[in-house]
Amino acid sequence: MRLSTIKLAGFKSFVEPTKIPFPDQMTCVVGPNGCGKSNVIDAVRWVLGESSAKNLRGDAMTDVIFNGSTNRKPISQASVELIFDNTQGKLPNTFADRNQVAIKRLVTRDGQSLYFLNGSKCRKRDITDIFLGTGLGPRSYAIIEQGMISRLIESKPQELRVFLEEAAGVSKYKERRRETQTRIKSTRENLERLLDVRQELQNQLDKLAVQSVEAKKYRELKSQERTLKGQIAVLKWQKLHQQQLDKSAQIKKLDDQISFFKTAHSGHDDVLASLDAQVQAQQDKLDDAQQQQHHTHTELTRSEQQQISIKQQTLSLKQNLAKLEQQKNQSEEAKTQQQSLCQELDDSLQQAVEYNLMCSEQVIELTDEVNRLLEIKNTDTSQWQSLTEDYQKLNNQQLAHANAVKHTEQKISYVKQQLTQLDEQIDELKRSEIEQQLIQQQQHRQTLTEQLANAQTAHSRGQSAQAIQQQQLDEAQQQWQHLSQQVNELKAGIAGLKTTLGLEKNSDKTLTLFKQLTVQPGYEFLVEQALSSLEHIHISPGKAENSTWQIPSQSVASNSIAAFISAGIYPELLNHIAYDAEGQTHHLNDASFIAVMDKQGALHGRNWHLSGEKNAENSLLLMHKKLKQQETLLEQQQQALTDAHSTLEEHQAQAALITEQQNERKDTIHQLAQQLAVATTRGDMLKAQADQHQQQVTKLQQQRQPLLEQQQQLSGLLGEELDKNEQLAEQLEALAEELNQADSTRINSDEGYKQALNNAEQYKTQAHQANLNEQKVRSEWQLSQTKLNHAEQALTMAVEGTQELIEQIEALLIPEQELALTIEQLLVQHQQGEQTLVDIQQQLAQAKQELQTKQASLKTSQTELVALQEQHQKLSIEEQSLLIKAQAVLEPLSELNQNLKQVLAELPAELSLNAAQNQLAGVSNQLEQLGAVNLAAIDEFEQAKQRSDYLNNQLDDLTQALTALEGAIHKIDRETKTRFKSTFDQVNHDFGQLFPKVFGGGSAYLELTSDDLLESGVSIMARPPGKKNSTIHLLSGGEKALSALSLVFSIFRLNPAPFCMLDEVDAPLDDANVVRFCRLVEEMSQSVQFIYISHNKIAMEMAGRLTGVTMAEPGVSRMVAVDIEQAVQLAHA
């Protein structure tokens, strides 16, 4: 994968859409300072996801948008697009099959930043995920900006680790690990909340379980209560329904009576209806007549108003006609006056024109005279000005030479002063005591060097003696520890034997039989068998005198058991027991033997046999013998341990003494080294001061010689300036006389010109007045003509207006006559209508009288009917009241969700209202005893139980998810450690190889700051040839740059990024190091695409293509590209 093209639009100084191709492996971007070269690298970093405006050399992200220039306005957005050639398929699997991938970023003035991948809108994370592990990123090792080389080499260990992680491809693992840790944290928080919720829910379940039981009982009682209430309501309804039926029978009887009365009065109703119809008909006639009369009155009023309006219009037109007649007369008079005035003004205008022409001719003659005199005046003035300029030039030259003389004198004085100061400084430096101090300091340094060498020799000898003494001390320590271990083992063995033998207490005061016996080797078991019953007998000194325990050695039988005892006191019985390995009893023939003992320890008597009871391995006599041996050995080892301890103490004392002496020698060496360092520093300072003094003397002497030469030159120059100044004074005096004569001539010509100009101005004034008079008369004549035209127009308009008004008056006479006739007719109709209204009102009064008489006759019979109707209405109300009460009684059934038919069907026949009410009171009492009941407890309990089961399932899921996530973290950590360690070792190896290659020698390596491969930082150590610096910060700028480049290229060797961008990294390098840098870049370009910015000619020659950035228009960058190979071919052609 490689970067093929960059497209910029509105990004920083690239305001116009710009396309930068990169067809070669090495492209060099060149151009003057400030033309926008670094903006190309900023654009790449910005598209790859850089979010810090500071790293893009700005204060806000919108600073990357072109902000205008002197000739251009700011724009609203900026965009950069990177096009990658992916023919090798190095991008992730999603894009592996694409030969070209385009990534674009766009930002607007409102701060909105958008990303596009192959033209489709995407997230910033989608862009960064594509390049994870490829070495590309906004702050990766593939983009090295100005100053980044020094920051890289001086970066903190943790910052340097980031570059190795990117090279190792573990940046994606770190991102996944961070996401996984976030998920683990979120999962644990959810788990804690879930546990709290489950605990709270369990407490709620316990309460709801109790409340659920109470609620179920409450529901049962409520069901009984609803049943009883329904039955009570039905019983009440049955009682009210029977009362309603009784009222209905009474109402039916009254209906029959009311029907009879209504039939009797039906005839009277017909008569009343007929009379009422007659009254209504007369009333309608009256209304129609009144309406017709009103219409007639309205028409009459409207006609009268129209007649009045026409009369008013006629009067107004007559008044306007009179006014127009008056205006007509006035216009005729004005016309006559203006005609007379125009004739008079015409004569005056002719006279004014003739006078104006005469004045103009006189002005022309005077103007010619003025021009002639002006030419004479200008000639004299030019001559005077020329002489004045010459005089001024000579005067300025004289002043300049005078100033030069003064300046030269000041310089001579200043040079003399400097020579005096230099002589004083040289004398002062020559009198300095630096040389004597330097000699004394060198002698002191030599003395300290000899003392330090002697002290170091003594210290070396002391180290040898200390090593020998330490070896002896270690041997003595080991010997003492070995003996101590042996003594402890012996003491433990002795204590064990004593415990077995029962000698823990009073072992020194008592003496047992077995303890004081000494038996020949191999026969201890037999003697012990013979004395088995006497093994714990204590022997006192008095027993030795007893004949029973005293056997002379010459009386002991050779074949008896007593013969095996070489020393000690034993019973005489042993001398009477014979020993035969096979246990032959023929020894009993000797009367002195009472039994024979075989090799198994069995006793054979004359008529008896006793088998052996003990094992030879557990022989107490052997244990006593071993105890004596170990006690003797313990005494010897204790004595040896005491001697070893004494030897150890001696060696320790000797080692402490030698160590103390060595410490004193170290202190002495340290003090001498410090004194020598101080003396060396002091000597170097004195040497530097002496050299500096000598250099100052030489420098001052060198400065003195030019001053002497300058003094001599200034003296010669001063004489020349004085001579020149005298010549200029003579020329200036002669020129002053000529200037005075020219000035007199100029003044005379100027006065003649002014006199002629004054005369011309007077005639111009007269001509101007004549012209003004002509214009005035012409204006008055034109005004009179205008007024005459206006009078004629007004007269014409007045005549036309008069004729028009006469026609309007005549037109109004006909409608006025017609309206008078119409008004007369309407008055007749109005009188007839009034008479008709009177007749109709009389007929209406008669009809109403007949109707009232008939109504009075019917009133009596209607009174009886009303009484029956009132009684009927009362019964109906009572019936309706019972019906409403019955319905009201049944209303609780709907509230109780019960049906009347169903309740009636289930109602017990023997149940009375009182019995049902008593049962209801009992149920209500039970409900009151229950108190407040949570009716929702049953549903809440079921819901809570379902939620508890759901939470338990979630808890199991979260626990499994947490285990899986922790396993993923461990897996990521293992993979990260493996990859990072492998990358670190490989980069360290390549760094160690590249560094000597770049520097021509020296060494360099990387070092981890801790053993934790997940968090350890990385530090750099580099030592160029001939240097033993303790830290990389002591290197020069060029050495740091080469060291950083060696590290970056070492990373590229391991994990080459698709391209590498370098911004003036060769700036601190000299030509020789630039050549090395170019060779290294050229070698790396076989596998990595390089795009670099440089001002160095050597670096430019290396590139396959030069891309220039220009700024012909201030503030606007443009591109110019040159193919180096084609340019070389054209040059050779």
- Which candidate, 1106, 1052, 1054, places its Cα nearest to that of 1081? 1052
pLDDT-based confidence at 864, cuts 50/70/90? Answer: confident
CA distance 41 to 143: 8
pLDDT at 677 over 90: no
1010-1039 pLDDT tens trace: 888 888 888 888 888 878 877 777 888 778
pLDDT of amino acid 81: 95
Q: How far apart are CA 1065 and CA 1040, in angstroms?
A: 11
Kindly report, residue by residue over 590-623, the tens digit of the pLDDT.
Answer: 767 777 777 666 777 766 666 655 555 556 656 7
Closest-CA residue to 666 (of 468, 469, 461, 456): 456
What per-residue confidence (pLDDT) applies to 433?
Answer: 65
Q: What is the mean pLDDT of residues 450-471?
A: 83
Mean pLDDT for all residues in the chain: 78
pLDDT at 7: 95
Q: How far apart are CA 23 and CA 2, in angstroms?
A: 9
Cα 489 to Cα 482: distance, rounded to the nearest angstrom: 11
- Closest to 663 in 3D by CA, of 474, 466, 477: 466
User: Tokens in use for 78?
Assistant: 């900026």
pLDDT value for 552:
52
Cα 465 from Cα 471, distance rounded (Å): 10
What mean pLDDT comes out for the span 468-481?
Answer: 82
Q: What is residue 1092's three-state secondary structure?
A: strand
- The pLDDT score that the predictor gives to residue 545 is 42
175 contacts: CB under 8 Å, gap ≥ 6: 132
**pLDDT (average), residues 157-169:** 78
Q: Would you state the pLDDT for residue 546?
A: 43
The pLDDT, as a whole number, for residue 17 is: 93
Helix (H, G, I), strand (E, B) or coil at 24: coil
Mean pLDDT check: name the lowest of 425-429, 466-470, 1094-1098. 425-429
Domains in the chain (CATH in brackets) are 1-139+1085-1101 (3.40.50.300), 143-196+936-1056 (3.40.50.300), 499-620 (no CATH)
Burial class (CB in 10 A: 0-12, 13-18, 19+), 332: middle
**Which residues, 6+ apart, have CB-to-CB distance to 83 below 8 Å?**
3, 4, 5, 6, 7, 100, 101, 102
Cross-strand bridge partners of residue 565:
519
For residue 558, the model assigns a pLDDT of 62
Residues found in the chain: 1133
Is 550 strand, coil or helix?
coil
pLDDT tens column, 839-862: 777 777 777 777 777 667 667 667
- Residue 121: per-residue pLDDT: 92
**pLDDT score, position 20:** 93
pLDDT at 368: 80
pLDDT (average), residues 261-277 = 70
Instruction: Give the pLDDT mean for 719-726.
Output: 77
| pLDDT digits 0-9 by tens, 777-796 | 777 777 877 877 777 777 77
* CB within 8 Å of 534: residues ≥ 6 apart: 513, 571
Measure Cα distances from 435 to 161, 442, 676, 688, 693 in Å.
54, 11, 20, 11, 10
pLDDT value for 1093: 92
Closest CA to 1024 of 1011, 1035, 1009, 1015: 1035
Res. 508 pLDDT band, cuts 50 70 90: very low
pLDDT of residue 515: 56
E strands along 273-425, which residues?
A: none
Q: Are 594 and 605 in contact (CB under 8 A)?
A: yes
**Parallel/antiparallel/unpaired status of strands 18-21 and 518-519:** unpaired
Give the residue ranges of DSSP H helices in 132-170: 148-153, 157-168
Distance CA 897, CA 892 (A): 8
